[in-house]
Amino acid sequence: MLRHASIDILAGVACMYLFVIRILDVSLQLPILFTLVLSTWVIYTIDHILDAYKLRESIIKERYNWHLKNLNVLIWFIAVSCILILLSVLFLLPPDIILFGVLAGVLVIIYFLLQGGHNVIENRYIYKEVWIGVVYMACVCGIPILQASKNVGSEHYLIFLNLYLLVQTNVFLYSWYESNIDIKEGLKTLATKFGKKACGDLITLFLLLSLMVSLTILVWQGPEKLYFWPVIIMLSMNLMLGLIRFFPGFFIKNDRYGKLADLVFVFPVVMLMV
């Protein structure tokens, strides 16, 4: 139930945000974290509800069934969450964060319009995977960058690039593992459009790029080793996603791939302990 309700996603968002502000040496502001996590839950839940509604005649995935069965309760939770987000925006958040939130909100609206079919792009579901990665990283990294002002260097952007590669790999892994189900449900994803092999090759490419970026940061940081632990954490995330990619026979059982792929984004919490 926790996974169906996207609680694991929220934990990952919170940990990733805390990871980024620690790297940028930005102070934690609880209203910002609260609003980010709650907004993420609303977006993910609405997205799942829309998918479940469109596929209601051919649903196979349990998470879509769960959203339809609990639709009324979820609508109430979404309404309450939106009220809390609005109150936070009106009374707690600084103007620059509000402006950024508005821009991010525009991206989300465009995303929902694309998924709803209000466009002329036939294969709009291919964009679903890319949009998820872009919006996720824009929110997780964009807000701390605003908070840090001018104290963001090239090494930080390399870390953000690496995090994006890992997030996008996670999203593509879902398409790769669920390609057969997506075909039956009629979903158009990267794997169903270009084939499972092409999707798997892209995942491998992203993992290799992530590894190269991590090694570049290690060399770049010099003798001070300021980013040793962030790199170790990202390498651990890369390793877990790599295991999921190359051992599908093990991770397909009991939905292990889904549980562990999202758990990867809790790894950064280690940064708070060092």
CA within 13 Å, CB half, 226:
12
Name the region of 153 (left: φ>0; alpha: ψ -120 to 50; beta: rest): beta
What confidence tier does 13 reach under pLDDT thresholds 50, 70, 90? very high
Any idea where the domains of the chain sit in the sequence? 7-273
Sign of CA dihedral 62, 65, 69, 72: positive
190 pLDDT above the threshold of 60 = yes
Q: Minimal CA–CA distance to 15: which of 162, 155, 140?
A: 140
Q: Which residues, 6 or more positions from 156, have their beta carbon under 8 angstroms from its beta carbon? A: 23, 24
More confident residue, 148 or 82: 82
Q: pTM score, two decimals?
A: 0.92
What confidence tier does 223 reach under pLDDT thresholds 50, 70, 90? low
Mean predicted lDDT score pLDDT of the chain: 89
pLDDT of the residue at 119: 46
Least confident of 75-84, 120-129, 138-147: 120-129
The angle, 0 to 180 degrees and rounded to 10, between the axes of the packed helices 7-23 and 154-177 is 160
> pLDDT tens digit string along 98-135?
999 999 999 888 888 877 654 444 445 556 788 889 88
pLDDT of the residue at 114: 75
Burial class (CB in 10 A: 0-12, 13-18, 19+), 12: buried
CB atoms within 10 A of CB 111: 20
Least confident of 38-47, 64-73, 135-144, 215-224: 215-224
More confident residue, 211 or 270: 211
What is the mean pLDDT of the segment spanning 148-161? 87
More confident residue, 151 or 25: 25
Q: Which fold has domain 7-273?
A: Farnesyl Diphosphate Synthase (1.10.600)
Three-class SS state of 178: coil
Please give the sequence-ordered ranges of beta strands (E in DSSP) within 159-221, or none if there are none.
none
CA distance 86 to 90: 6
pLDDT of the residue at 117: 55
CA distance 152 to 120: 39
More confident residue, 61 or 176: 176
pLDDT of the residue at 127: 63
pLDDT of the residue at 56: 77
DSSP string, 117-133: T-SS-TTHHHHHHHHHH
What is the mean pLDDT of the segment spanning 60-80? 92
Query: Rounded to whole angstroms, what are the CA distances from 255 to 22, 61, 75, 247?
Result: 32, 11, 27, 13
CA distance 254 to 2: 15
Burial class (CB in 10 A: 0-12, 13-18, 19+), 117: exposed
What confidence tier does 30 reach under pLDDT thresholds 50, 70, 90? very high
